[in-house]
A and B are shown apart, each in its own frame.
Chain A
Amino acid sequence: MEPTIGLLLALSFLVSLLALTFLIWAVSSRQMAFNQAQARTIFVAGEEGHADNPGISPNADDDTHHFDPARAGIDAISARPVTILLTTAVLWLVVGSIFGLTASLKLHWPDWLGDEAWLTFGRVRTIHLNIVIYGWSSLGLLGVVFWVAPRMFHTRLRHPHLAEVGALIWNLALLAAVFALATGWTDGEEWLEIPWQIDMLLAVASACFVLPLLRTAAARNVHHIYVTGWYWMAAICWFPVLFVIANLPGLFVGAQQATVNWWFAHNVLGLWLTPLGVGAGYYFIPKIIGKPIYSYSLSLLGFWALALFYSQVGIHHLIGGPVPTWVVTLSIVHSVMMFVPVITVAINQHVTVAQNMWAFKQSIALRFVSLGAICYTLASFQGSIEALRSINTVVHFTQYTVGHAHLGAYTFLSFTLFGAVYHMMPRITGCSWPWPRLIPVHFWLVVIGFTVYFVALSIGGIYQGLAMLDATRPFADSVILLKPYLESRSVGGALMTLGHFVFAAHFAAILLQRRPAAVSSAPMTQPVVAA
């Protein structure tokens, strides 16, 4: 393997050289000049120092709400694409949860709904995964992006119609994908099940989102690009590239295909959903509190460390498998290095909330978002530890991983999204939430449901792994001992699903509510200049 190692060394040298050149350029052209004042670009004059908690509390007078005519004009333009994205996302959440719950029940009632191929566990589970990832999480977070970006950049959204077209194609492609998967038409790799023909449609749709975001950023009325913008712009560039490479048909086989598979599967989390979610946290937390983030310069380190380390963690899914030792080790090292970006984000987001606990009590949107941020920290710590060889041996092939997946994909992303939706919808529709008391009901259903879900699978998964490692115990032991844990997961999952029904009903109600005439603002024709 002499040539390979030589190549790797030459390569890492080249990369460091490039990075150094970039750094010199950046410092010399003052790209790195960084100060806390830039953290305030998310506010307009008069906003800082006031909590921003619109349309949520039962008593409307409690809402300190800074009305800004420029913002209202900006919002009127993004409202349509954002409403399309969020509405379809919520629909997918409901459908995806039903499939998730069905898959969960089938694991302990294996003969329930067993007479038809499309209802078999392998298909229901696949449909669940693809709906919650590409439907709920991706579309929902894109909705957040197109709502927040124009406000953050203090200018109206460019190419709103392109974003709408993207949303439309994306939804149609996903619908086709669900039918394909139900009938057994699949590419067969985890996270890449959607047939590549349909994936190409999704790739086109994702490309439709690039221009609106980048053009809006280019036309911004503030000098500085706030940290959220870095995460989102990077993510929106990464995704189409990732998605197309991973789905090119006939390029990879066998063990190499497995490395491509997990390179993609972890990057779709690390370079797509995570930056979208972290970026959302970086915006909503200071925005709702009305105070800038704790240490703005730390956020730069966090961003580039995430890009460098997260992009190379994927092969920790193949520990102990038939791929070269060094790639596995590389991914383990990067998994552990993920502590760096995660801790920087944690300091910034959690300290900001901790210093303003009054806002946490007052705003349920903040409660969702910051709980999501906390779960990002926890899921990432858990992931770094799970990648260690000694731990991975026990938990790798078990339900423990599913618990971990939901701590990340569910609590981090979904809670962030729930909070974002509660915050955004009153502005989008111009109405308050019709039944504010339902919001805590939703909150507690999903929090309690998830806790049951996670605790059950984490404990059950460890026992399952230990039983499989013990040569004196028959394999059957690992299956039999798991059943009560799988049943508990179904209980937790049912509570979560119920919570999603409550959320979706409330969402439908605010959307269909008749708007008060005063707020149905006329479309702005003049270019908007922010205060």
Chain B
Amino acid sequence: MNRILPLSILALAILALATLMLVVVPGMQINAQPATPGLQPYTAIQLRGRQTYVSMGCVYCHSQQPRSTDQGPDGERGWGRPAIASDYAYDSPHLLGTMRTGPDLSNIGARLPNQAWHLAHLYQPRSVSAWSIMPAYSFLFEVKERAAPGDVVVRIPNGRGPKHGVLVAKPEAIDLVAYLQSLDRTMVAPAHAERDDGYAKSER
């Protein structure tokens, strides 16, 4: 191999092939499916909250892609039915995640709809679960002398809150919780949904 041009062209052709196989063809298949019936686009508030989720890097500890019951106990843990491609029709950036330092959050809105719980948990996860290693997002809150009208006041259990004043959620925290509450992919999956069925038990 002593020619630069053929080498470069062949190398780029191989990359083009890989792009076709991993990006173009699966993309055509995925895009041929409409959004899962019942899936709602995000509202402006939820999108703002989603942006906070992205910028805080929650994805490095939380996946959003329940596995099938043939593969693992995700369903039994209450994380939801197996994820299908059309569940993500409105997601950009996608937040599938590759790590489960914390639980899967695909359906956290259905599982834990309570705003007060989420706010307290975000302020100090160890006020809710002493064993948690999730970071505290206390900078999404502020301590005030007294709450102004319209402020969302947050109460922290187990004496983990600030010693003086009242704790008020900043708009970022409220939006983030709105996003978490919107995470609900419990609607029925259509018959020919796209997902990796490689673990399916043979009776299917």
Contact = CB atoms under 8 A, between A and B. Distances in A.
Contacts of A263: 18-19, 22-23
Given A121-B57, A469-B73, A257 B194 contact: no
A187 B57 CA distance: 11
A224 interface: yes
A347 interface: no
Given A122-B60, A257-B93, A397-B98, A311 B131 contact: no
Interface residues of A, number: 101
Contact of B56 (A11, A110, A184, A324): A184
A311 B14 contact: yes
A110 B11 contact: no
Given A187-B93, A330-B21, A111 B11 contact: no
Interface string A254-265: 111111111100
Contacts, number: 275
Contact of B94 (A11, A125, A189, A225): A189
A254 B91 contact: yes
A261 B22 contact: no
Contacts of A322: 65, 83-85, 87-88, 96, 194-196
Contacts of B98: 190, 317, 396-397, 401
Given A234-B7, A254-B88, A475 B103 contact: yes
A28 interface: no
B26 A259 contact: yes
Residue among A8, A116, A214, A320 with max Cβ neighbours from chain B (10 Å):
A320
Contacts of B133: 107-108, 110, 479, 482-483, 486
Given A190-B59, A257-B92, A117 B139 contact: yes
Interface string B61-82: 1010101100111001100000
Contacts of A185: 55
Interface stretch (A68-76, A197-205, A237-245): A237-245
B14 to A, nearest CB: 5
A110 B83 contact: no
Contacts of B83: 321-322
A476 B131 contact: yes
Contacts of A440: none
Contacts of A115: 138-139
B107 to A, nearest CB: 14
Contacts of B102: 479
A230 B7 contact: yes
Interface residues of B, number: 83
Contacts of A260: 22-23, 27
B94 A257 contact: yes
B50 to A, nearest CB: 9
A253 B85 CA distance: 11
A468 B100 contact: yes
Contact of A259 (B17, B27, B77, B129): B27
A253 B18 CA distance: 19
B57 A223 contact: no
Contacts of B57: 120-123, 125-126, 186
A59 interface: no
Given A312-B21, A312-B22, A328-B198, A225 B126 contact: no
B31 interface: yes
Interface string B86-114: 11111111111111111100000000000
Contacts of A190: 59-60, 98
A315 B30 CA distance: 14
B195 A327 contact: no
Interface in A81-140: 106-108, 110-111, 114-117, 120-123, 125-126
B139 A22 contact: no
A255 B88 contact: yes
B136 to A, nearest CB: 5
B29 A397 contact: no
B158 interface: no
Residue among A7, A187, A325, A397 with max Cβ neighbours from chain B (10 Å):
A397
Interface in B170-204: 194-199
B13 interface: yes
Contacts of A483: 133
A319 B56 contact: no
A217 interface: yes
Residue among A122, A190, A254 with max Cβ neighbours from chain B (10 Å):
A254
Interface of A: 1, 4, 7-8, 11, 15, 18, 22, 26, 31-32, 106-108, 110-111, 114-117, 120-123, 125-126, 184-190, 214, 217-218, 223-225, 230, 233-234, 237-238, 241-242, 245, 252-263, 267, 271, 300, 307-308, 311-312, 314-315, 317-325, 327-331, 389, 393, 396-399, 401, 468-471, 475-476, 478-480, 482-483, 486
18 contacts: A7-B25, A31-B3, A115-B138, A115-B139, A122-B60, A123-B55, A190-B60, A217-B4, A238-B15, A256-B31, A267-B15, A312-B17, A315-B26, A397-B98, A468-B72, A469-B73, A475-B77, A479-B133
